[in-house]
Structure 1
Amino acid sequence: MAQKTNEPAGDDRARHDPADHSDEDVSAADPRTPSILEQMGGISGLIYSTVPIVVFVPVNAVWGLRVAMVAALAVALVIFGVRLWRREPLNPAISGLLGVAICVFIANRVGDAKGYFLFGIWTTLAYAIAFVVSIVVRWPLIGVAWNLISGEGMAWRKHRRTLYAYDIATAFWAAVFAARYLTQSTLYDDGHTGWLAVSRIAMGWPLTALAVLATVLLVRRATRDEHVIEAEEEQKSSTDPVR
């Protein structure tokens, strides 16, 4: 009896050892990092942003500016509720509703339906300038945003190929925003509200999706090259004779 009582508790410790669940702990502590597109609300979020525009323009043509503003706000509120109900990321939902509210406010102040698009036009110009400046000062915004989201820090700036890839990706986004500004500002000056809506949608989520795809391809290739270079440097340092 004494022998049984004094048996080592190794088996019990093994059964209750937290290390046995290390895989579960790692997976729970290391959730998947959202992609850039997901941070923007995903494809559905980009499509949601076009719905108030699709409603605003025809309603304005039939019933006038006041009704169109109310309709756009009502649709934005419905979309906001749907996104909350589907438990989608909160920030894109709030920014989408706030964006529509700002556009409606400006349209009301301008007294013309084309004023609805003025905020987006000036925003695209600001983005284009910011992206170009970030390249000039060697802090490309796509690199900063990508690594902030992934939590990998700013060591990428020390690697030439990676920095160059982020430069190209940032320049691509700057070109997208510049093209939007030039096209839509021209249509705004000419008073083509209907074509403003068409260009806003056509140059909206399709170009954004294309820019995201180009960014992912560029960054993945640069990161892969970076890892190869680091491995070669580690191998070289390990084979160097000790002095």
Structure 2
Amino acid sequence: MNGTPERDSGPAEPGSEQGGGDDRGSGLPTSAGAATGPGEPARTESLADLLGGRRGAVDATLPPLAFAAGWLLGGESLWGGVGAALAVGAVVAGVRLRRGDRPRSVLIGLLAVCVAALIAVRTGRAENFFLIQVLSNAASALAWTVSILIRWPLLGVLVGGVLGQRARWRRDPALLRGYGRASWVWTATYLLRLAVFVPLYLGGQVLALVVARVALTWPLVAAALALSWVVLRHSLPAGHPGLRHPVAPPR
């Protein structure tokens, strides 16, 4: 799912620090901080710290930019755009592997560029390079909405996976409610992209699609990480120990 926060370096270890209360002044519950050495203050962390996402979003904008550059420099040559996108996509994949990203995640990203290029070449339409983006955002919007309605909000699934909690977070009514509310922020990002991408795609506006792709990828992911964290933080009651410490109700 494009634009979904992802931490490529693997699951983070649950913190061992027990904290109390919600430090609203810092914007983070102190108990959500990562464990530190003896005598050191807890290092606070946000959803951006836990999930990453912004770095991967920046990487995702490079092949479309290369496609636009190759398309323009080649006199609106489809092959020029596709060749540039594939070359840059391969370089991005190599850089991601060198910095330790998961091979599966890297291959999925490269495969998406290859499929987008294949669709554009087979149809002979440059705007079809962005068809995968349109479809993936529609699928993501649907998946996030359904996950909230069935009380398995995807933000909770992602954060719980990173923290190694499995489904323990679902037994905490406050966390379940908070993840549900914060997941609507991510649903809105996919709907916003669709509202922009679909008219541009139908109008064959290749350069406008590239601009929209860049503007609605890493800046939007950064904004969604920040806003969903604010929503989640304010959904937790005072004294809640934080994301790393789900509170199961007494039986």
State TM-score, norm by structure 1.
Answer: 0.73
Per the TM alignment, residue 184 of structure 1 is displaced from its structure 2 partner at its CA by 0.2
Partner of 1:142 in structure 2?
Answer: 155
Per the TM alignment, residue 195 of structure 1 is displaced from its structure 2 partner at its CA by 0.4
Of residues 161, 179, 195 in structure 2, which corresponds to 1:166? 179
Deviations 1:182-210 (A, max 9, x none): 21011001111110111111011111111
Q: 1:228 to 1:54 in 2, by over 3 A?
A: closer
One-letter code aligned to 2:159: W
3-state secondary structure, aligned to 1:49: helix
Per the TM alignment, residue 169 of structure 1 is displaced from its structure 2 partner at its CA by 1.1
Partner of 2:230 in structure 1?
Answer: 217
One-letter code aligned to 1:96: G
Q: Distance in 2 between matches of 1:163 and 1:153?
A: 13
Per the TM alignment, residue 36 of structure 1 is displaced from its structure 2 partner at its CA by 6.1
Question: Which one has a larger percent helix, Structure 1 or Structure 2?
Answer: 1
Q: Distance in 2 between matches of 1:92 and 1:113?
A: 26
The 5-angstrom pairing of residues 9-48 of structure 1 reads 37=48, 42-48=53-59
One-letter code aligned to 1:118: L
3-state secondary structure, aligned to 1:191: coil
Matched, 1:53 2:47: no
Of residues 190, 201, 224 in structure 2, which corresponds to 1:177? 190
Q: Distance in 2 between matches of 1:124 and 1:204?
A: 11
Matched, 1:123 2:136: yes
Per the TM alignment, residue 114 of structure 1 is displaced from its structure 2 partner at its CA by 0.3
Q: 1:109 to 1:48 in 2, by over 3 A?
A: same
* 1:103–1:119 contact (8 Å) kept in structure 2: yes
Of residues 58, 61, 85 in structure 2, which corresponds to 1:72? 85
3-state secondary structure, aligned to 1:82: helix
Structure 2 stretches lacking a partner, 5+ long: 1-34, 37-42
Whose relative contact order is higher, 1 or 2, with alpha carbons under 8 Å and at least 6 apart?
Answer: 2
Cα RMSD of the aligned pairs, angstroms, is 3.1
Deviations 1:209-235 (A, max 9, x none): 11112233333454564736999x89x
* 1:135–1:167 contact (8 Å) kept in structure 2: yes
Q: 1:227 to 1:58 in 2, by over 3 A?
A: same
State the structure with more CA Rg.
Answer: 1
Partner of 1:238 in structure 2?
Answer: none
Structure 1 stretches lacking a partner, 5+ long: 1-25, 235-243
Deviations 1:145-201 (A, max 9, x none): 211221123233333332221111111111100110121011001111110111111
One-letter code aligned to 2:72: A
Of residues 223, 226, 240 in structure 2, which corresponds to 1:227? 240
* 2:66–2:85 contact (8 Å) kept in structure 1: yes
Partner of 1:206 in structure 2?
Answer: 219
The 5-angstrom pairing of residues 177-196 of structure 1 reads 177-196=190-209
State TM-score, norm by structure 2.
Answer: 0.71
